Structure 1
Amino acid sequence: MRRAGEGRKPPAWPERLASPPHHVSHPRAIFAPLDVAHALRTCPADVCAVTRRNYGTDANPDLLARIPLDARRILDVGCGAGGLGAAFRRRNPATELLAVEADPALADQAQAHYDAVHRIDIEATAPPIAPGSLDALILGDVLEHLRDPWAVLRRDAALLAEDGVLLACVPNLEHWSFAARLLAGGWCYEDQGLFDRTHLRWFTKQGMQQALEQAGLVPLEVSPRIFDHDRATEFARRLAPALQALGVTEADWLRRSAPLQYVWRATRRPPAPMLVAARTLRPVGGVNDVRVLQPFAALASRPGVATLAGPQAEMPKVDVPRILVLQRRLLDRPDSVDYLRGLRATGALLVQEFDDDPAHWPSIAASNHLAFRGVHAVQTSTAPLRDLLAPFNDEIAVFPNALAELPEPVNFRDPSRLTLFFGALNRQADIAPFLPVLNQVLAEAGGRLAVEVLHDRPSFEALATPHKRFTPTADYAGYRMVMGRCELAFLPLADTRFNRMKSDLKAVEAGGHRLCCLASPVVYAGSLRHGETGLIVPDPESLGRELRALLAEPGRALNMANAARAWVAADRMLARQVAPRLDWYRALWERRAALDAALLRRVPGIG
């Protein structure tokens, strides 16, 4: 934590408290709760900074998740080395990112990640930002360093657009380590962490809420950042007799003292609330991630939008617009009408999420396409699928598969060697005709061409080369990690009805990782520009020809891979879909009476 240089009633929405982020690992152990000597010489490490020199290198994940993904203009005050800006840039390359950082060395580092870095003392000089122009104002670990944080909040709240959001991360004055130090008689300031000597102001949760309201903002959400919960719990247990004597319950004190920091989200006016829930498939590969979990995280970055997902997710009883997404539910059982009747009774608007050819499951047609007729609306991934499903439901939206984040490339490190990625479920028949020519090119190339195969063990065994590696079926992160270390991606699809209904997701993922695709014309000819953003290989002969050409001129592969990454950054990021998805869901809710009447006409038994 370091220096960066009449309230309104909040909406009727339950306070949402985040779980401790499991992926934040750098806070060191605070101290053994009963070891007073250790308490006197050890101070909690700041979870956002380790030293002044590298402050802000890493992004605070709890702030990052709450920046509206489709924000057009953001000001990050006290950006440090720019880790938060760099992380958000990967999520939305189109955002105008501005920053304030008074430390010259840190500002120099941050400059690479922001469109502009203002090197000012935020208290002495107002940011040169037009009032009402920011979609997000971020104050990460800043307010505690100011002489008058209340004045800065009042002044800079006016920079927000009407629907803009303020995000702040502040230390918790009630953290249990404060009490431990005071009881041990060993209070001391230090050079970093919770007891940083530059901390001039301290906040409780109630005090920070008042500060936001006095600035004319509407506090929407406060999320605790809890680290070392076991020690906090043990400390509370040992204090229980004293707490009881003071009329304070152990559970209440632990709730207030466990958080090291709080992340606040506030707006100038209460946002329109919405709840979007999903009943997901059993996780296989990245199906859930791409079609539900990542889009839901994108939606939840908008103030007022809550999401939840799981195989048996229940719709909470809240008086807000409610959308329930059913992910590829076949609805082919004898009790499916009863199942849908129960879901409709919750008052939620039902949306089927389907991104494959339903003919793959004959039971769907046998049930008279209840999967699509028995819901209010359908969402899918491609125009051909929309046209295929249109006879069964008039309300269909297309949301192409997209990336939540543009990863940093890690490939093309050795210009003398290329690695070809092949990884997909149920593609053995698609790759089989290409294996002889692939083996021929591998033999010619020697160690200059290697192959990474994921999931498909028979195809891996058929490759006659020692320069190959196999990875079993992985989760989505593992799949993307294997793909990312390759330079080429082979995407074969035979010309079948089922394949023609597939999306171009693998080309999008490969482009995001800066791979050059060699892909079939089926599906991918509509996405890749041959010779510019990838190569279309309709037959084994063309695959062999293009592979040999790339081995002779690897720089050409890199050029196409860079162009593919630019295409994904411009056109296929989830940030572009936040507004269209929310607008469609809100429009569905506004028309729910008409949509419900149409549903009952299609399937009277649901009523």
Structure 2
Amino acid sequence: MTQPSGDGAAMAAKGSYYSNVNEDLLQIVPATAKRVYEFGCGEGRLGWAYKTWNPQVEYIGIELFADATAKAREVLDAVHEGSAEDPALTTAALEQHGLADALVYGDVLEHLIDPWAALKDHLRLLKDDGVVCICVPNAQHWMLSVNLVAGHFEYQDSGLHDRTHLRFFTGRSLRRFVEGAGLQFTKVKRRRIGTQPPAPLKDLCKLIGGQSKASEESLYDDLTTFQYVVQAQRKTATPPMRIDFKKLADRGGFNFTRVTAPARAFNSVPGVSGSVYGETATVAANPDGPNVFVWQRPILRKASDLRQIPVLRRHKKLIITDFDDDPDLWPEIAANNYLSFRGAHAVQVSTESLAVKIRQWNPNVFLVPNRLTQFLPYAESRARTEPDTLFIGGFNRGLDFEAFAATVNAFAEQSQRNWRFLVVGDEAIWRALDTENKEFFDILPYDRYLNVMRRADVALLPCADSPVNAHKSNLKFLEAASVGTLALASRNVYGRSVAHGSTGFLFDSPESLAGVLREVEGHPDLDRIRLQAYEQIRRDHALYPSIGATLDLYRDLYARYDMLDGDLGERLQTHFSQPGDGQAAR
């Protein structure tokens, strides 16, 4: 954090004030950013957190205090020590690093002598389509307002009464501040934290509303907002895009990789909104730009869903089926003449083999590989690892493990080490392990699932040689590598992802698995292999750096909406023209 006055002792008194991560501010720094400047970066915690999401970003901090600067330099790509109000510092940053995609101010502007001049100077660092991300305390908050009415304004070390606050903003004055710099709001988030407002506040809002033009609801919103978090941008001609996801029912972390994480990433991009819905998905549409409706692994039925599809088409929503497994696992899909694919404008899949299979029912199939959202530093993940611990996990993987159970049991019995097994999601695997040194976890939320995997030294990824597994993605290997766990993987699924002996180990039979287990137990340099896998996955399989390409793909599809919709109408008429299917027509 940049302060216009004070000393190191004042900074130390604030403690976590310099090291906290504002999650709401973090989530509006665009996923597409390649370079970011943060003014008043403190110890660099916000930048550190963003770099775990976007490993390819160049994140540059500007910080006044030397102690905080030194700590920030340990986690950011570069840090300039100096005042945010020094134009010479802006010039030096521009010459050394160049233009950025985002400027970040986390509770900083209120500390500056002249934030209006500072922001205008800093805009020299911003690309034409870049964004400014701001968090400021709300001077209209009820706690401050009530104290003022009572004649109290006591300075404190932090919060709304911070003694180093020189400037004060309400929601309206913040908008004027931003617009005065030639920017416009693209996203606004109200942070409501701290003490619950007193019950009479609503009555007070009603009274004030009756004496002014303000509505009771808007007054209450303003008075209960502790901080405003906003994203702003120069005026742009790019039309806004709305992306709605209809997800499957939550089951552990099942939806996270394909729905929740992409929606969050999309929502960070200026002009894009990403929303997730469950059983009931909205048909609200953006009248000025592309509307995309992503339907996660739908099992569409003629009797009901042929009535939903025309509703989406009337709102000119681009219908995309998201599918990441073999459709033969669900006989209902075939029984309904593959409406899950024929009834969409396009289909996105996780593997090329799945794309080839589904193109027989819809020619507009494209690849959106599974990607990961966070990469903690390798050393941090390894610090949580328990030696001689083996992870096995997944849904309905008992049959995949069956052929290898005897091999694993023999290895555990003969080993000189006391191997412990962590099993997630499939109790059949846990029962097949002939040892008491095992722990079973039922279906877990995704972050807890990864934390269990992070505990393990080794992850066993067995896959039977079956038609279904021929279309399985490499997600389990990506997850293992991202948390620093060594992958032992079936060659039939992971042969193109794992470099044997370099980023993991491959096996294709119980006998070869036995050899791999012996090799791993005696290997002198497994940490090198783990680190190589981690660095490869962090470089090539992070979600944030890929979001721009996915958005471009959606925009390209939407530009061809009329043609794709005509093709969709023909598919529905051709394949569902039986009696009672007249709803398929638009």
CA deviation profile, 1:167-216 (whole Å, cap 9, x unmatched): 01111110111122223433211222221111100011111111111111
CA distance in 2, matches of 1:568, 1:241: 55
The range that moved more, 327-336 or 582-591, is: 327-336
Report Cα offsets for 1:458-488 as digits up to 9, x if no partner.
2212212232111111122221121111121
Alignment of 1:161-180 (within 5 A): 161-180=127-146
Q: Which residue of 1 aligns with 2:531?
A: 562
Matches of 2:2 and 2:456, distance apart in 1:
40
Deviation at 1:218, TM superposition (A): 1.7
CA contact (8 A) 1:4 1:78 kept: no
- The match for 2:295 among 321, 326, 347 is 326
For residues 66 and 411 of structure 1, what CA distance do their matches in structure 2 show?
Answer: 26
Helix, strand or coil for the counterpart of 1:129? helix
Structure-to-structure mapping, 1:248-397, within 5 angstroms: 250-270=216-236, 271-311=238-278, 312-319=280-287, 320-397=289-366
Task: Give percent identity, aligned residues only.
Answer: 34
Structure 1 partner of 2:585: 606
Letter in 2 for 1:569: R
The question of 1:138 aligning with 2:117 is answered no
Give the match for residue 91 of structure 1.
53
Q: How many Å separate the matches in 1 of 2:359 and 2:384?
A: 49
1:242 Cα deviation from its structure 2 partner? 5.9
Residue of 375, 396, 414 corresponding to 1:426? 396
Normalised to the residue count of structure 2, the TM-score between the two structures is: 0.91
* Contact 1:225/1:259, CA 8 A, preserved across alignment: yes
User: Are 2:547 and 1:578 aligned?
Assistant: yes
1:482-561 matched pairs, under 5 angstroms? 482-553=452-523, 556-561=525-530
Q: Does 1:223 align with 2:189?
A: yes
1:402 has 2:371 as partner? yes
Q: Which range moves more in the overlay, 535-544 or 49-58?
A: 49-58
Structure 1 CA distance for aligned equivalents of residues 456 and 386 of structure 2: 13
Map of 1:204 onto structure 2: 170
Cα distance in 1 for partners of 2:77, 2:218 equals 45
2:26 corresponds, among 31, 49, 64, to 64
The number of residues matched between the two structures is 562
> How far apart are the structure 2 equivalents of 1:483 and 1:106?
34
Kept in 2, the 8 Å contact 1:162–1:269? The answer is no
SS at match of 1:198: coil
- Distance of 1:329 and 1:241 partners within structure 2: 47
Closer, same or farther: CA 62–595 of 1 in aligned 2, 3 Å: same
Give the secondary-structure state (helix, strand or coil) at the position aligned to 1:309: strand
CA distance in 2: counterparts of 1:411 and 1:172, whole angstroms? 38
Q: For residues 444 and 286 of structure 1, what CA distance do their matches in structure 2 show?
A: 35
Partners of 1:384 and 1:463 lie apart in 2 by: 33
Contact preservation (8 Å) 1:157, 1:268: no
Tell me the distance in 2 between the aligned counterparts of 1:80 and 1:180. Answer: 31
What is the Cα deviation at residue 386 of structure 1? 0.7
- Which secondary structure state, in structure 1, belongs to the residue aligned with residue 18 of structure 2? coil
Q: Which residue of 1 aligns with 2:579?
A: none
- Confirm or deny: 8 A CA contact 1:103 1:119 kept in the other structure: yes
Instruction: Measure how far apart 1:430 and its partner are.
Output: 0.8
Report the CA distance shift for 1:351/1:415 in structure 2 as closer, same or farther (over 3 A): closer
TM-score scaled by structure 1? 0.88
> Quick one: distance in 2 between partners of 1:561 and 1:300?
33
Tell me the CA shift for residue 447 of structure 1: 5.0
Q: Could you tell me how far 1:50 is from its partner in structure 2? A: 9.4
Contact 2:2–2:83 (CA<8 Å) still a contact in 1? no
Summarize deviations over 1:513-554 as a string: whole Å, max 9, x none. Answer: 01110000111001010001000011222222222232233x
1:21 matched residue in structure 2? none
Larger deviation: 178-187 or 581-590?
178-187
Tell me how far 1:451 sits from its aligned partner: 0.8
Conservation of the 8 A alpha-carbon contact between 1:417 and 1:448: no
- Give the secondary structure class of the aligned counterpart of 2:421: strand
C-alpha distance in 2 between matches for 1:224 and 1:291 = 27
Q: What residue in structure 2 maps to residue 8 of structure 1?
A: none
Deviation at 1:249, TM superposition (A): 5.7
The CA deviation at 1:291 is: 0.8
Q: Is the 8 A contact 2:430 2:440 kept in 1?
A: yes
Q: Which residue of 1 aligns with 2:93?
A: 129
Deviation of 1:339 (Å): 2.4
**Residue type of the partner of 2:25?**
L
Deviates more, 1:376-385 or 1:344-353: 344-353
**Any conservation in 1 of the 2:382–2:483 contact (CA below 8 Å)?**
no
1:3 aligns with 3
Deviation at 1:412, TM superposition (A): 4.3
Give the direction of change, closer, same or farther, for the CA distance of 1:219–1:342 in structure 2 (3 Å limit).
closer
User: Which residues of structure 1 form unaligned runs of 5+?
Assistant: 6-48
Alpha-carbon RMSD across the aligned residues, in angstroms, is 2.2
Residues 534-592 of structure 1 deviation map (CA, whole Å, 9 limit, x = unaligned)? 00011222222222232233x53222111111111111011232111111111111111
Aligned-pair CA distance for 1:438: 1.1
Cα shift at 1:237: 4.0
Residues 236 and 253 in structure 1, CA contact (< 8 A), matched pair in contact too = no
Q: Could you list the per-position Cα deviations for residues 383-435 of structure 1 after superposition, in whole angstroms to 9, with x for gaps in the alignment?
A: 00111111222211101101011134555449993211101111111111211
Q: Which residue of 1 aligns with 2:8?
A: none
- Output aligned runs, 1:104-115, within 5 Å: 104-115=66-77
Match of 1:25 in 2: none
Residue aligning to 2:558: 589
- Kindly tell me: are residues 381 and 290 of structure 1, through their superposed partners in 2, closer, same or farther at Cα, counting changes over 3 Å? same
Query: In the aligned structure 1, how far is the partner of 2:525 from the partner of 2:498?
Result: 15
* Residues 330 and 50 of structure 1, relative CA distance in 2, 3 Å threshold: farther
Letter matched to residue 334 of structure 1: A
Contact 1:51 1:192 in 2 (8 A): no
Deviation string for 1:483-514 (max 9, x for gaps)?
Answer: 11112110000111101101000000111101
Q: 1:111-142 deviations in whole A, cap 9, x for unaligned?
A: 01211100011112342233971100001111
Take 2:469 and 2:209, find their aligned partners in 1: how far apart are those partners? 67
Displacement after TM superposition at 1:344 (Å): 1.6
Which moves more between the two structures, 403-412 or 336-345? 403-412
Structure 2: gaps spanning 5 or more residues: 6-10, 574-583
Q: Structure 1's 372 and 237: CA in aligned 2 closer, same or farther, altered over 3 A?
A: closer
Counterpart in 2 of 1:186?
Answer: 152
Greater Cα shift, 269-278 or 371-380: 269-278
Give the secondary structure class of the aligned counterpart of 1:218. strand
| Contact 2:2–2:39 (8 Å) recurs in 1 | no
In 2: Cα distance, 1:332 partner to 1:51 partner: 62
Query: Could you tell me how far apart the structure 2 residues matched to 1:331 and 1:241 are?
Result: 48
* More deviation, 233-242/257-266: 233-242
CA contact (8 A) 1:279 1:313 kept: yes
